Amino acid sequence: MQNRTSNSKISWFFVTLSVLFLVSGAYLTGNIARAEGKTISPESKKLLGNFSNALAEVAEAVRPAVVNISTTTTIPAEANPFGDMFNDPFFRRFFGDQFNHPGFNRKQKTSALGSGVIVSDTGYILTNSHVVKGADDIKVVLYDKREFKGTIVGTDPKTDLAVVKIDAKDLPIISIGKSSTLKTGDVVLAIGNPFGLNQTITMGIVSAVGRSNLGLADFVDFIQTDAAINPGNSGGALVNTNGELIGINTAIFSTSGGYMGIGFAIPSDMATGIMDSIIKSGKVIRGWLGVSTQPLTPELAQTFKIKDQKGALVSGIIANSPADKAGLKRGDLIIGLDGKPVADPVSLRNIVASLAPGTKIELKIIREAAEKSLSVTLAELNEKMDVKRTGYKNSLKGVTVQELTASLREKLAVPENLNGVIITDISPDSPVMGVLQVNDVIQEVNRQNIQSMQDYDQAVAKIGEKDGMLLLIYRQGGSVYITIKP
């Protein structure tokens, strides 16, 4: 009797449990059915539809003006275990030629891919300098699959821009917008040929503007975007929602070589100025002020009794330069140029370099705690450099040096009264690799003063292969003696 009662209780338990499952299932099924039955409101459909249609219209309008650029270059043969993967100039830009094999001396052809933007119906194309650098042959493929041979009109490595010309007429061109009007959060489209996939379009926003000191180019305040940019996108278009070109896609920040959400584009305002100069003169002509500047630190601000925390502090003035003739002095803080704020030395340098020689500008400065305006007429920046790689067999073998030009002095904030030659390259097999650095200024060699390339050559020529040497160098704001053993 007790077993029957127990079995009966167990049976009722399972019956009850089954009913609960059935009820729960019916309830869930009903909810799912009701969820599946929900509809999207007409307003939402219209909003999303309009947005989608607008982006599609922009894409269709600008795609014909974006081209595929493929190059062929003759280089020393490499033992490259990765095949063509690293042939894209975009990849080589970040990884360098680190796969060279010392046993190969023969030549070989290598190909690379990039993008470009048609800016003139007579065949002028704007792209990156690194896309066409050293190319023997350039092939340009248009949106309609037509192919043309491209020729380089001119390049500007300091902004990583180049102009290529094809023999064609009545080409589709892109409208050029003003990058100066961009705001963080603006929607943008990136168009190019990543990994050789023609006419790829990605969407994102402007993440930031005015990015500098990235090591990508000397005179560029980049646009940062999260629109996907990958190898092959170099030289392609970054456009706004009006279908206007507002940037030339140039580089990415990546630890893997692929897209990681941070890309950079050269602003159209700068790109068009460079392009016009190249087409007109075959080179880029830049304005020159003739000052050495440095960032304003809190300590310096306190010393000079300056309340502002932004600007370019004048640390040196080149004799007979535009700045000297205008009455600029050491200790002046430049905070504005033609009504535009000057945040730091880099922004000052970039603004000045973007202006033509002969341009009259108005500088807003702070001198002895008082604001003042100065009128300056810019001169032309002379970038001719006397570069020499030493052929000596001593410890300075493989070190490339050049004259300390005004532009380099300004760029590296080298004091006006400091002279010497500057190191621009050190070969990997040089005895001083890891001891000396690029941008070191050699002031003395074995206690002999170095004022010019001639002084340097005479001093180094006396040093034998097994001789040590004592160098006085200027590095990162200070002078130090370095002993080099043979």
Strand blocks (E) in 296-369: 312-317, 333-337, 340-341, 360-367
Residue 412 burial (C-beta neighbours within 10 Å; 0-12, 13-18, 19+): middle
Distance CA 126, CA 154 (A): 10
Given the residues 130, 207, 321, 332, the one annotated as active site: 130
Given the residues 88, 156, 160, 440, the one annotated as active site: 160
308 assigned to active site: no
| Best CA proximity match to 308, nearest among 330, 276, 348, 335 | 335
State residue 407 phi and psi, 5-degree precision.
-65, -40
Pair 109, 76: CB distance under 8 Å: no
DSSP string, 375-440: EEE-EE------EEE---SSTTTTEEEEE--HHHHHHTT--TT---EEEEEE-TT-TTBTTB-TT-
Report DSSP state, residue 452.
S
130 assigned to active site: yes
User: What six digits make up the tokens of 274?
Assistant: 């460079």
Residue partners of 286: CB distance under 8 A and separation at least 6? 219, 352, 353, 354, 355, 357, 380, 381, 383
375 assigned to active site: no
| Best CA proximity match to 119, nearest among 299, 322, 268 | 268
| Best CA proximity match to 192, nearest among 229, 146, 247, 138 | 229
Beta bridge partners of residue 403, listed in sequence order: 421
Given the residues 179, 234, 321, 430, the one annotated as active site: 234
As annotated, the active-site residues are 130, 160, 234
